[in-house]
Every structure is written in structure tokens, then in C-alpha cells.
Structure 1
Amino acid sequence: MSHEHLQTLTEIRGMMERSTKFLSLSGLSGVSAGLVAMGGAMVAYLRLRTSWFTVLDSGQYDRLTRPSMTQRETLDFLLIDALVVLVLAVLAAWFFTSRKARRQGLTVWNSASRRLIWALVVPLAAAGVFCVGLVYQHAVWLVCPTMLTFYGLTLLNASRYTYRDLEYLGLCEIGLGLLALFLTGYGLLMWTLGFGVLHIVYGTVMWFKYDQTGPQPASGPVDFDQDTL
């Protein structure tokens, strides 16, 4: 009888966890985001034709542009490149996460995912405005450290609503962002490591840890609001 009680408690705990945490986050989302980021970094490198170690450097910013590109054109290109990377990464994340949710018999849009999205959107929006302010103040070399640090803090905030493994990625991003603050000449390289390599490593670990062996729900979609439990 004790074994049956233990199994019942385990099932109840699983239902409560699925109602408060978004557990359909796919490791392939991280891998795809990392690959897209590395592709965007490569495009920037080839377009600017500059060293990996001098892009957005505080001391060499005036000389980073190609002869055929003004500073305004360079900034516009970097902005478009970053937006394309963001859109493709979000679309890939949505695709792989939706596919995992369907396999689990869950819905992507529920109270847990709404809390997760809110935890992501607010600090990321603040980071975006802050970066625009840095560009406006002609402190472009601080954009990369700011993006990495804010992104890491965002992941720490969001880890409360999904797998705690996201917390470790956030800490790595923060550490890399703080390091980039003192090594501004390594802007493109740091950006590639943070948004590219770290995402691929994190996504691979998540895929083997949860996508392959993660527990499957015993019943259909569960969407309890935390306040009603």
C-alpha cells in the first residue's frame, strides 16, 4: 500500500510541476539558436572584413568600417544582422518546443508558458532599450557586454519557470558579459561564444538529459493555474 501511496504522490507532484513550470523546452531550441547566432557572427565577420578581435573595440571603433561603408552603414548592417538572428532563433525555438510539447501531449500556450514568456520579455525589452541608448551615446563597444550580461540575468529570472539547468547558462552568460566589459576588443568573439557556443553546449546537454530520457505525462494536457493549487 505504501508503494501505491508513493506512486500517487509522485504523479500529483508531476502534475503540479507541469502546471507551474514549462517543461516542454527542447534542447534542440538551444542548439538551433546557437547555430543561427554563429551564422550571424560569420556574416558580420565576412561583411566587415575585420579581425575577430577588433570589432566594436572602444579604441579602434573609428577604424572598424570598410572604406566603402560609413559608420552609420556599419551600425545599420549590424542591427539588421542581429534582428535576423533573433527572428530565426525564435522561430526555431518555437518549432522544436511545439514539436516536443505535441509528443508529450501538452499544449505550448498555457499558464506556465505565459509566466515564462513574461519573465523573458520584460528584462530583454529593458536590455534592448539600454543598448539603443548606448548606441545613441556613441558607446557601441559596450553593447556586447551589456547584451550578454542582461541576457544572463534574464535566463536566471526565467529559470524559475522551467528547467533549473537554464540557471547555469545564465551564470555563464553573465560571467562572459562581465569579462567582455574589460576586453572590449573581443566583442565579436565574445558575442559568438555567448550566443553561439554556449547555446549549442547547453542545448546538447538538455537534449540528452530531457528530450531523450525526460518523463512523459501520464495523461493529457494539464494546465492548472498556480493560484488554484
Structure 2
Amino acid sequence: MESKDYLKDLSEIKDLMNKSSRFISLSGLSGIMAGIYALIGATIAYWLVTTSVRGYLILDGKIFRLCLIILFLVALLSVITGIILTTRKAKKHNTKIWDATSKRLVINFLIPLIAGGLYILIMLSNEKYGQTGALMLIFYGLALVNASKYSIGDIRYLGYTEIILGLIAALMPGYGFWLWVLGFGIMHIVYGTWMHFKYDRSN
């Protein structure tokens, strides 16, 4: 009997240590919503491009600026939704939303993301547009993998998927838009649904 109690205590201690070193309040629904926002944004951008005078992507002028605005709005809505849903989940489980672990998560996520964003802006300023989609996928994937050690480990698998899709997009630039849709849209919905039923619904 004492042996069983000892093993139970060890299991509880391990669980507490895991919770204290990982931010586990991320909401699966936020991933689903991010994917939906990406699909809506991609649909609008595709419509703008295909209904333009030339019928294909114009990488300067009004249409390009509109596509950048759409991309920014998709990212902004995803972040706001993620904060709202994650905060709600944290309150439900009576856990802190902002502590040392969540700070490490944000820092490790932002370092590759900001570096990649700046690199993409430099490429765009030099009028090198062809690899933009691939670079977005790769650096976003790296950010997820880098942050996964401070959150639910499953996030790294989404990161690996984004990196692979980015490398494929680099090899096949003509399919960059559709791979972007697959990575930021569909894969987010698939991942968010998986996380929702694995973690959110079970708690």
C-alpha cells in the first residue's frame, strides 16, 4: 500500500513540475479560428488578384498593398482571438496567464518570428518576392518548434509541418500561395481541432 502511495506522490510531483515549466493554457479553438481567418484572408486576396486587370499577382501598387493589409489583419485577429480564448481557459482552470513560463514561451516564439519578418521585409524591399510564402512558413515553423519546449509538446509537430511545407514551397514557388493556404489555414484548423478534443474537452 505504501508503495502505491509513493508512486502516486511521485506522479503528482512530476505533474506539478511539468505544469510549472510549461504553459498549458493555450486554446485549441484559437488555432481553429486562426486557420479560418487565414482562409478568409487568402480568399479575399485571391479574388483581388484574379480580378485585377492582368489576372495574376501584381507585386507592386495598390493590389500588393491591399494583400499586405489583409495579411496584417489576419495576424492581428489571430493574436487577439488567441489572447481572449487562452485567457478564458486560464481563468477556467484558475491558472496564471502571465508568469515566468509564459514569458519564456513568448520570447522564444518571437525571436525566430521577428528575425524572419525582418528578413522578409528586406527581401521585399529588394523586390525579391518569389520566396515570401516559403519564408513565412519556414520561420513560423521554427518559431513554433522553438517555443514548444515551454508549452504543450504537440505544437512542435505543427512547427515541423510548417517547415516542411515551406521547403516544398521554396522548391515549387508556383505553388507557394496554395502551400501557404495549406500551412496557415488548413493545418491550423486540423491542429486546433486535435488540441481542442485532446486537451480542452478533456478538462
Measure, in 2, the Cα distance between the counterparts of 1:10 and 1:168: 26
Measure, in 1, the Cα distance between the counterparts of 2:3 and 2:25: 31
Letter in 1 for 2:61: R
1:48 match: 49
1:141 to 125, 130, 138: 130
Measure, in 2, the Cα distance between the counterparts of 1:205 and 1:25: 13
Deviation of 1:187 (Å): 2.2
2:78 to 84, 89, 99: 89
Q: TM-score, normalised by structure 1?
A: 0.83
Unaligned runs of 5+ in 2: none
Unaligned runs of 5+ in 1: 52-59, 215-229
Contact 2:158 2:191 in 1 (8 A): yes
Corresponding position: 1:184 with 2:173: yes
Measure, in 1, the Cα distance between the counterparts of 2:126 and 2:5: 64
Measure, in 1, the Cα distance between the counterparts of 2:71 and 2:130: 15
Secondary structure of 2:202 counterpart: coil
For 1:108-162, what per-residue CA distance to the aligned partner results, in whole angstroms no more than 9, with x for missing partners? Answer: 1111111100011111100110110110111111110000011111111111111
Letter in 2 for 1:8: D
Q: Which runs of 4+ in 1 moved over 6 A?
A: none
Corresponding position: 1:198 with 2:179: no
What RMSD over aligned residues (CA atoms) do the two structures have, in Å?
A: 1.8
**Would the alpha carbon gap of residues 63 and 189 (structure 1) be closer, same or farther in structure 2, given more than 3 Å must change?**
closer
**More contact order relative to length (CA 8 Å, sep ≥ 6):** 1
Higher helix share: 2
1:157 match: 146
Letter in 2 for 1:10: S
Measure, in 2, the Cα distance between the counterparts of 1:47 and 1:183: 23
2:34 match: 33
Deviation of 1:50 (Å): 5.9
Q: Percent identity?
A: 41
Letter in 2 for 1:186: Y
2:57 match: 64
**Would the alpha carbon gap of residues 189 and 26 (structure 1) be closer, same or farther in structure 2, given more than 3 Å must change?**
same
Deviation of 1:21 (Å): 0.4
Contact 1:41 1:192 in 2 (8 A): yes
Letter in 1 for 2:36: L
Aligned residues: 201
